[in-house]
Amino acid sequence: MQIKKTTRQRQTNRLSPFDEPATRAVCEGVPIRTYGYTHILAGAPDLADETRLQVGNLRPFIKQPVKSSGEVVFNRLGGTSPRMPRTVANDYLPLECIHLIDGDPTTCWSSKSLPQPDVEPIWIRLDLPVERDLCRIILRKRVPGAARSTDMSSMPLDTGAVEVGMAMPAELTIRISRDARTWETVFDGPSGDTPEKRDLICEFAARPAKQIWVIGRGLRRVENWLYSFSIAEIEVLDTAGRNVALATRGAGVTVSSTQHSLGQTREEHHWLWPLATDLGIKWIRIGYHDDPVNWHWVEKEKGKLAVDAEADAAIDYMVDHGVDIILALGFGNRLYSNPDPARKLPQLWEWYYENPQPPVTPAALKAWARYVRFMARKYRDRIKVFEIWNEWNIGVYWGAQPSLEQYLAIARVTIPILRRECPQAKVMLGSFAGYFPGMSTWSPEELIQQERDSLLLAAIRALAPDVDIIGWHPFYQTDPDKPTVRSYTADVRRFQNWCLSQGFRGEFCASEWSYGASYPEPTPPNWWGDYVCTEMVKAKYVARLSVQHTALACGSFFCETWGNSYYAMDLTLMRRTFTADPISPQQPQAAYYVLRNLATALENLQPAVFDFQVEGGPAELEQFALERPGERVVALWQPGRAADTCNGVPADLVVPGPCRQAIAYDPLNGVEQELDMEFVHGSAHIRGVLIKDYPILVRLLA
């Protein structure tokens, strides 16, 4: 991404809802900054034990300071936000625990998702305002609702998975108490649940109680987010047959955790939104899933368009702190696209469960154009890139069977508006789910066939001269030993050259990619793949792709920068710990610090062409040339699967041309070490460089 970065002067008369971090602790002289309940070390931690970068080199390692986004001039690194901050009016929380005592069988609660059935206890507690003589407790599943209308082919329901609100645990313990100290068990054992069974009834001899405690074990797999305890109601009957577990009778409910949303809680948005600026990344991508900037939120009533005030402030915050924004314009709006605009599944999220159809009729396209014009005028001085949809090639985001002709119609409505209303902004083709694996090996005949069959290639052929950026989503938990990963560099270069042949003269962007290190590992099968890795290995893959994309002149966006409730797939740079209600604590993974280290280390680096040779070393090698004023940089690492520890394989690096000093940078610990070097016959000879399974950057200073 070549747009030069500037930090806009903060408008002092504008109140930001986002607090700057406080320093609440210091570890070995390094401040620890606090964002809500998340604590971030201000410097680079030592993630790996003492390591070597060159055989026989005893020079000291020097810890390098990291920069915030506003301090970094330029890099190609970005992230996607796990939804945007929003006001209460646009905060959708369909699964809160209050639904357990609202008396409505169509609503439900769900615990936060877990990777496996019995990772930790999941419980519900009811408190009555006064002791009652109780004799029956009933746990009820949600009443089945309307059939799904969304094409879920990209994220199919798991075999044997149940709908939200219908996940009765395989085993239950029910206890009652008069004082919340001494508990009596009235049920303990199998629930006897089957798909056809709607409830569990626990009857016992009448006795007084004020508290009820329900503990679930053997959680059920719930559609698209693994394991949860999720039911509609708890009824607690006294001897008069009255349900005393109702909010209207003064009952209260607490739970071990809640699946608040697919986009986190409002509190987490406010606390953690500033993390992107701490990371030092220069780009953030918004609107790609279900954000307040999407059409269906901006226009909730026909003809009335407005962006949520806190989402608007979040955009200001990023711009003020030196982060540029890609705003994905999307998606359908049922006011114009669906024959019946009413939602049939209001107890579930619109995405992914009831997507509106895309705007394809003349009336819908006219309304879409009004939305695009509104957004362009509002953000012409704040948004650097407008993207036309996200993952339009899969039904779950398109809202219908993907159609090239329909997408092109939308793009051809959108592009002229953006060019006219905000000529300084760049236009991005809607990012593609997947990419072009193996393209470097395609024969001429295979390329011709792909040009006919691939939605991505066909869209580029139609729109290449009209857009400025082309984006794709290459890897989600993809095994690095796969041939498609090993050929990725060659595939991207072939793709870039092909785009040039189609008249494209813009930039490229891997606008989503991710690796996860779930503890425990998720139970397969999973739509994102079943390859598992450790936290340290994940950090190494993050380092590889950040450097690799930079060397390929591609924007590189980790998806997502933070989050704790999304699928239990570790789609985050933060550690997922024990679940809690209302907020599960989040602390940074190794990958967070490694990405932050590289955001500074890769500052101002551009792809380069200069001669260098690697003599000896590993059998396979990824190697790239980069440069910035005053220095050349060689990036080296071993491809394939990484390991927690890697001593490295020694190799000799020979670089023709002037060089007064060679320095190696290790992104795991954020340290540099001056290398032993000889200058022979006009070339720098650096012997015994240890090539790891993650990038080492060798800086050659002129």
pLDDT digits (tens, 9 = 90+) for 274-288: 999 999 999 999 999
**Choice between 526 and 84, residue whose per-residue pLDDT is larger:** 84
Q: Are 471 and 509 in contact (CB under 8 A)?
A: yes
Q: Residues with Cβ < 8 Å from 138, sequence gap 6 or more?
A: 199, 200, 201, 202, 233, 234, 235, 237
Read off φ and ψ for residue 355, nearest 5 degrees.
-55, 140
- Rounded distance between C-alpha atoms, residue 181 and residue 200, angstroms: 26
Place of tokens 């095994």: 479
Name the residue type at position 89: A
* Predicted confidence (pLDDT) at residue 304 exceeds the cutoff of 80: yes
Name the pLDDT band for 342 (thresholds 50, 70, 90).
Answer: confident
Express as a percent the part of the chain with pLDDT over 90.
79
Least reliable range by pLDDT among 134-148, 544-558, 593-607: 134-148
Q: What is the arithmetic mean of pLDDT over 255-270?
A: 85
SS3 144: coil
- Rounded distance between C-alpha atoms, residue 340 and residue 10, angstroms: 45
Q: Are 157 and 128 in contact (CB under 8 A)?
A: no
* Predicted confidence (pLDDT) at residue 657 exceeds the cutoff of 90: yes
Q: Which CATH class is domain 94-255?
A: mainly beta
* Predicted confidence (pLDDT) at residue 2 exceeds the cutoff of 70: no
Name the pLDDT band for 152 (thresholds 50, 70, 90).
Answer: low
Say what the pLDDT of residue 13 is: 46
Name the pLDDT band for 454 (thresholds 50, 70, 90).
Answer: very high
Say what the pLDDT of residue 9 is: 45
* Predicted confidence (pLDDT) at residue 8 exceeds the cutoff of 50: no
Mean pLDDT estimate for the chain: 92
Tokens at 138, concatenated: 């009933």
* Predicted confidence (pLDDT) at residue 348 exceeds the cutoff of 90: no
* Predicted confidence (pLDDT) at residue 623 exceeds the cutoff of 50: yes
Least reliable range by pLDDT among 310-324, 472-486, 567-581: 567-581
Say what the pLDDT of residue 12 is: 41
Name the pLDDT band for 265 (thresholds 50, 70, 90).
Answer: confident
> How do 324-329 and 385-390 pair as beta strands?
parallel
- Rounded distance between C-alpha atoms, residue 632 and residue 659, angstroms: 9
Dihedral sign of CA atoms 170, 174, 180, 183 in order = negative
Q: Find out if CATH 3.20.20.80 is the number for domain 22-86+263-601.
A: yes
Does the fold of domain 606-701 match that of domain 22-86+263-601?
no
Express as a percent the part of the chain with pLDDT over 70.
95
* Predicted confidence (pLDDT) at residue 682 exceeds the cutoff of 80: yes
- The residue ranges of every structural domain in the chain are 22-86+263-601, 94-255, 606-701
- Is the preceding omega at residue 488 within 30 degrees of 0, hence cis? no
In CATH, what is the architecture of 606-701?
Answer: Sandwich (2.60)
Say what the pLDDT of residue 79 is: 97
> How do 554-558 and 507-513 pair as beta strands?
parallel
* Predicted confidence (pLDDT) at residue 29 exceeds the cutoff of 70: yes
| Strand segments (E) across 256-367 | 283-286, 324-329
- Range among 219-223, 571-575, 622-626 with highest mean pLDDT value: 622-626
Q: What is the arithmetic mean of pLDDT over 353-361?
A: 90
SS3 508: strand
Say what the pLDDT of residue 567 is: 59
Name the pLDDT band for 158 (thresholds 50, 70, 90).
Answer: low
Q: Are 523 and 226 in contact (CB under 8 A)?
A: yes
* Predicted confidence (pLDDT) at residue 153 exceeds the cutoff of 60: no
* Predicted confidence (pLDDT) at residue 6 exceeds the cutoff of 50: no
